[in-house]
Structure 1
Amino acid sequence: MSSRHIYENGFDEDCGRTLSGTCPECEGDLETDSGETACEECGLIIDEYRVDHAATPRNFDDAERSTEHTGRPITPSRHDRGLTTEIGHYRDGQGQLLSRAKRQQLGRLRREHSRARWGSTAKQNLGHACGEIARLVAALDLPFSVREEASQLFREAQDANLIRGRSIETFTAGCVYAACRRRGQNRSVQEIADVARCPTEKVWLGYRILSRDLDLATGLVRPVDLLPKFADEADVPKQVERRAFELAEHAEHEGIANGRSPSGVAAACLYLAAQETGFILTQERLEEIAGVTVLTIRARYQELRGER
């Protein structure tokens, strides 16, 4: 029986290939790591592991043939769901330069391909909306799932004929805000309006139309969900943030937060927690962070203290 390690010179899947234990260049020892056999002295790569265990088994039986492995998955974030075909300009598939006649022919093909891609005004609007949604998501540093959700909402709004007579920018901003609400991303309307090409009122308009006509199921925004973001921007100590969480949970339990702006309640909880712990935090600073007025913060602060 051999006393060597089973993977010292190779792998079981090497189909009988034997690797020597010394480097052919410097006579150094060989080491196999992650399927790659290299010399420890000079770094010369002797062999590589060619079996890909990440690939899933495929069945090519005609009776059970599947197309799930053909190409990249489709995505609603592209106007054509990611199935775009691009025609090159100067080189062919082997990297060879094209002749002048061939380049002229490809130019005509690109023109007809572009006309076929934007065959209708609806497709042009969808392409513009997908690009605008991608820009907003990138500017707000949101995950790709929000982009797909917002793009799908715009498609549903377009199919329901909600876009006609209204601005595309209004609906793209509203779709991004609705996707944030559905995906649990705490972004305010003001944050979206700051990077969108429409004011805050238009963002609210687009969201209200989507929520009313598409019957969107969006979760409620709670003050405790906004506290981490406000506390991070205000740069408060951890003890202030923990106390603010306790106050926010108390406000929800006692019904103080019912019918109130979550941002105003969260800002008031943070202000009261800072007052109790001796941390200096002004109402004007919380006004900038939460996007609510000082009067709102003061009113919620007085309610938390039981003065009303």
Structure 2
Amino acid sequence: MADSYCSDCKKNTEVVFDHAAGDTVCSECGLVLESRSIDETSEWRTFADDSGDHDPNRVGGPVNPLLGDVGLSTVISKGPNSNGDASVARLQNRGGDPDRALVMAFKAIANMADRLSLVATIKDRASEIYKRLEDQKCTRGRNLDALVAACIYIACRQEGKPRTVKEICSIANGATKKEIGRAKEFIVKQLKVEMGESMEMGTIHAGDYLRRFCSNLGMSNEEVKAVQETVQKSEEFDIRRSPISIAAAIIYMITQLSDSKKPLRDISLATTVAEGTIKNAYKDLYPHATKILPEWYTKDKDTKNLCSPKA
């Protein structure tokens, strides 16, 4: 019990904490003074002979539906004046954690996903893909970083939030673009029979990257809207360039007409597309500029400001 002021009794009275309901109740009149309070006491029993740096009040990790059931096990504790038996320790560790490899992979997925600021649904999808690989016992001897990066790449595609291979490579802990590409092909081939249509990653469109690229460049809402409309109109023409290259070239085209012109180098860094590739895609788009640029955006601007492809 503790003392607290009761607005009904008009005085300090003893209160009772109802831990089950999360209520603080006045012991005099029964008025609920506080509801939904958080119980900060120990969640589990604390034993006097516990030692070490771990927190004895809470045990176990968070429940992950992709991990196996965690059953009860018996652990032989060392005595207070004993160094323990090495043979006993080896026997205990032999049947250790069967999900250790999965836990390591899930941790790597979480770290890479956080570095790319990916949402939880993509992270969960990547973990599910890796779990399916692990179930087929086909991950042994393969580059973990490349496999994890490939799982994230596929998950991004399936969730409609694609990332470029260069973006994935930048957080892959040293795994090369070639290794990630091979890992992606391996995963698709390995799981296609089991997952069927769900392994289809869909077609990438230039518009899939626009929001992120424009945000990286600090473009205004008006410029972003103009870029989106230009990309939509460009799909009516046969521009045989990758969607990422088209997106980068259209951003370059729009920024030339805006007050805050962006250097080609900055656009290349923000979109992970080489400057030469942007120039080639821009060269293909330039003849259609008057047809694909929104009229509301160009009416107050001089389209002659657009650089010639030869420049």
Question: Shared fold by TM > 0.5?
Answer: yes
User: Could you tell me which residue of structure 1 aligns to residue 95 of structure 2?
Assistant: 116
User: Could you tell me which residue of structure 1 aligns to residue 179 of structure 2?
Assistant: 202
Residue pairs, 1:16-27, within 5 angstroms: 21-25=8-12
User: Could you tell me which residue of structure 1 aligns to residue 302 of structure 2?
Assistant: none
Is 1:188 the counterpart of 2:164 in the alignment? yes
Find the residue that maps to 2:215 and give its secondary structure: helix
Find the residue that maps to 1:260 and give its secondary structure: coil
Residue pairs, 1:1-12, within 5 angstroms: none
User: Could you tell me which residue of structure 1 aligns to residue 65 of structure 2?
Assistant: 75
Structure-2 change in CA distance of 1:111 and 1:165 (3 Å): closer
With normalisation by structure 1, the TM-score equals 0.65
CA distance in 2, matches of 1:145, 1:201: 26
Q: Is the 8 A contact 2:8 2:31 kept in 1?
A: no
Opposite residue 100 of structure 1, the aligned amino acid is P
Residue pairs, 1:203-242, within 5 angstroms: 203-215=180-192, 216-242=199-225
With normalisation by structure 2, the TM-score equals 0.64
CA distance in 2, matches of 1:181, 1:172: 14
Q: CA deviation at 1:182?
A: 1.5
CA distance in 2, matches of 1:88, 1:25: 50
**Aligned counterpart in structure 2 of residue 262 of structure 1, from 215, 222, 243:** 243
Q: CA deviation at 1:104?
A: 5.6
> What is the number of equivalent residue pairs in this alignment?
243
**Aligned counterpart in structure 2 of residue 47 of structure 1, from 32, 35, 58:** 32
Opposite residue 106 of structure 2, the aligned amino acid is C
Q: CA deviation at 1:110?
A: 7.2
Query: After TM superposition, which residue ranges in structure 1, 4 or more long, deviate above 6 angstroms?
Result: 49-52, 84-90, 107-110
Structure-2 change in CA distance of 1:138 and 1:103 (3 Å): farther
Find the residue that maps to 1:129 and give its secondary structure: helix
Q: CA deviation at 1:170?
A: 1.6
User: Could you tell me which residue of structure 2 aligns to residue 243 of structure 1?
Assistant: 226
CA distance in 2, matches of 1:114, 1:140: 36
| Greater CA drift, 240-249 or 145-154 | 145-154
User: Could you tell me which residue of structure 1 aligns to residue 299 of structure 2?
Assistant: none
Structure-2 change in CA distance of 1:188 and 1:224 (3 Å): same
Find the residue that maps to 2:161 and give its secondary structure: coil
> 1:61-107: per-residue Cα shift (whole Å, max 9, x none)?
xxxxxxxxxx975422xxx34737698999xxxxxxx96279969x9
Is 1:271 the counterpart of 2:252 in the alignment? yes
User: Could you tell me which residue of structure 1 aligns to residue 121 of structure 2?
Assistant: 145
Q: CA deviation at 1:36?
A: 5.8
User: Could you tell me which residue of structure 2 aligns to residue 100 of structure 1?
Assistant: 80
CA distance in 2, matches of 1:84, 1:149: 26
**Aligned counterpart in structure 2 of residue 292 of structure 1, from 273, 295, 299:** 273
User: Could you tell me which residue of structure 1 aligns to residue 102 of structure 2?
Assistant: 126
Is 1:157 the counterpart of 2:137 in the alignment? no
CA distance in 2, matches of 1:290, 1:86: 51
Find the residue that maps to 1:25 and give its secondary structure: strand
Q: CA deviation at 1:51?
A: 9.1
**Aligned counterpart in structure 1 of residue 112 of structure 2, from 114, 136, 140:** 136
Find the residue that maps to 1:117 and give its secondary structure: coil
> 1:224-253: per-residue Cα shift (whole Å, max 9, x none)?
121111111111222221111111001123
Opposite residue 206 of structure 1, the aligned amino acid is A
Find the residue that maps to 1:22 and give its secondary structure: coil
| Greater CA drift, 241-250 or 151-160 | 151-160
Q: Is the 8 A contact 1:224 1:245 kept in 2?
A: yes
Structure 1, unmatched stretches of 5+, are 1-18, 27-33, 39-44, 53-70, 91-97
CA distance in 2, matches of 1:169, 1:285: 29
CA distance in 2, matches of 1:165, 1:72: 28
Opposite residue 193 of structure 1, the aligned amino acid is C
Structure-2 change in CA distance of 1:253 and 1:208 (3 Å): same
Q: Is the 8 A contact 2:75 2:92 kept in 1?
A: no
User: Could you tell me which residue of structure 2 aligns to residue 166 of structure 1?
Assistant: 142
